[in-house]
A and B are shown apart, each in its own frame.
Chain A
Amino acid sequence: MARSSAYDDEFTEYVSARSAWLRQVAFLLCGDWHAADELLQVAVTRLYLNWSRVRAVENSDGYARTVLVNAYLAERRSSWVRRVIPFGGYEERPAADGDLDGVLDLRRALVSLPPRQRAVLVLRYYCDLSVEETAFTLRCSQGNVKSQTARGIDRLRRMLHPHAEEVSS
């Protein structure tokens, strides 16, 4: 199917503007920049395939984020993930400001969460989505989002503070 240059230009402009943000979301989901790039490539290809729809919706970023998260969850179920360079191939350093050790610990802890739990935490606490918006993105119940959030945070706390019985909520 021939695509016009206007179509391509508009797509390229959007991806150029938003790929850094999408790559960060992908990194938080995958825990690895190389895997994040693979995921981003898959998601951006899907965006191109459906670009006429993406530009027709009010919330293009929400659409792109949903495509990215669904691609991540689908590929965690498939053999694709086994072909991706695993965590540890490139030891990224966190941003210079803040608690370096804490952030590295958080990264390791996040990677150990089940994919849907990780996706829920990233959507709720990085993308700042409500419970309802997260449920819509993941096509699950709000109750499921709440339970996954609670379990995910609890698990992170236990991994980050293995000896703490009581932590702040």
Chain B
Amino acid sequence: MTLDADELAAGLRQLARSEAPPTRLDVAAVRATARRRLRRRRAVQVVGGLLVCGVLLGGVAVVNGGDDVTVAVASVSQGGDPLVAHAAFGWLPDSVIGVSHVVGAHGDQVMARAGGDFGMRLWLRMYEAADDPPIEDGRTALPAPEVNGLRAYWITEDPRDPLNGGDAFVRWQVPGGRWAELHGYYMKEADPGAVLLRIAADVTIGTRPVPLPLRIDGLPADLDVTEVHFWRPGFTDDTNWELAMFYAGPDGTSVTIQVSPLKMPGGHCRSAAGLHVCVDAKGHAPDELLRRITLLGTDERRWTTRVVTSA
């Protein structure tokens, strides 16, 4: 095998067709496990929602259930605000035009970015508490200046290059033993390492609801929020932003609510205060839901963390 791109593709196809033992995937067991996990997650979210509504929250851990405890940097909440962040950026370079929060099956993402297709991207992530930072195969942890008095490391594929060819990762320990990660690329700064460390030092850890540009006076009680995508700016658009909230209920019912300064295609939409909202619903009346929504305008100082209120 000489291995050009076509040969690699052919080799992978042949490898994927290798003789295989019978699959051990048990779909019924998957469903049973997932249902248990949903019950546990719901219990945690209820507690989390209560805490976010007024009780001090000391930790960040979000439990997905079972033994795969992960630490989310943001998550959905069944409380008054469907989107909560567990870590947040503080100081950011002037070139940053927005911070996005995306939570759901793809995982959890908090990203700050500058404008343009190749503007700076800064991703914030969290890892479980451990003595040492998580290190992937093929990477090396190089000591970096301490962040707020705690250990920090550059994570790189090239031990001679702490900033990893411009695709830079810094991981630092935060109080409680967890590890935070800042991943930056497309950075135009003269000293990107110093900028990353300054951003890291100003990251705050703690659960807080993310203000959103709408209020909903009551949602059907059987709906649970499953995903929230709050792109600021929009994924492909530097000047606008878009919010999408996905809810699911029993019997396949679902509701999607989208808000943006841009008009969106859709049959059940309304405009007010310079914003547009569209509702897509299965098993619920979209126009009835639309009537319950108040848009809070483009000035984010007027946005709220009391998004879903009792009808």
Question: A residues bordering B, Cβ < 8 Å?
Answer: 1-4, 6-8, 10-12, 15-16, 19-20, 23-25, 27-28, 33-34, 37, 40-42, 44-50, 52-54, 56, 63, 66-67, 70, 73-74, 76-78, 80, 90, 92-95, 97-99, 102-103, 105-107, 110, 113-117, 121-122, 125-126, 128, 139-141, 143-144, 147, 153, 156-157, 160-161, 167-169
Contacts and interface: CB of A to CB of B under 8 A. Distances in A.
Given A1-B35, A44-B27, A141-B185, A93 B18 contact: yes
Contact of B15 (A28, A80, A144, A160): A28
Looking at chain A's contact residues, the main secondary structure is helix
Interface stretch (B135-143, B203-211, B295-303): B135-143
B3 A48 contact: no
A24 B18 CA distance: 9
A41 B2 contact: no
A3 B35 contact: yes
Size band of the B side of the interface? 35 or more
Interface in B7-33: 8-21, 23-27, 30-31, 33
Nearest to B106: A66
Nearest to B102: A139
Looking at chain B's contact residues, the main secondary structure is mixed
Given A4-B252, A47-B105, A160-B3, A125 B12 contact: yes
A140 B167 contact: yes
Nearest to B17: A95
Contacts of A77: 127, 134, 136
A16 B27 contact: yes
Nearest to A4: B251
Interface stretch (B36-44, B90-98, B285-293): B36-44
A113 to B, nearest CB: 8
Given A50-B227, A144-B185, A167-B3, A74 B70 contact: yes
Given A1-B35, A46-B105, 19 more contacts: A1-B38, A6-B251, A25-B16, A27-B16, A28-B12, A28-B15, A44-B25, A45-B37, A48-B34, A50-B226, A53-B104, A94-B15, A94-B17, A97-B14, A98-B14, A126-B12, A140-B167, A156-B8, A169-B4
Contacts of B224: 1
Task: Kindly name the residue among A15, A78, A93 whose own CB sees the greatest number of chain B CB atoms within 10 A.
Answer: A78
Given A49-B38, A52-B254, A41 B30 contact: yes
Given A95-B18, A114-B138, A141-B186, A53 B246 contact: yes
Given A1-B224, A95-B18, A156-B8, A80 B1 contact: no
A103 B14 contact: yes
A41 B25 contact: yes
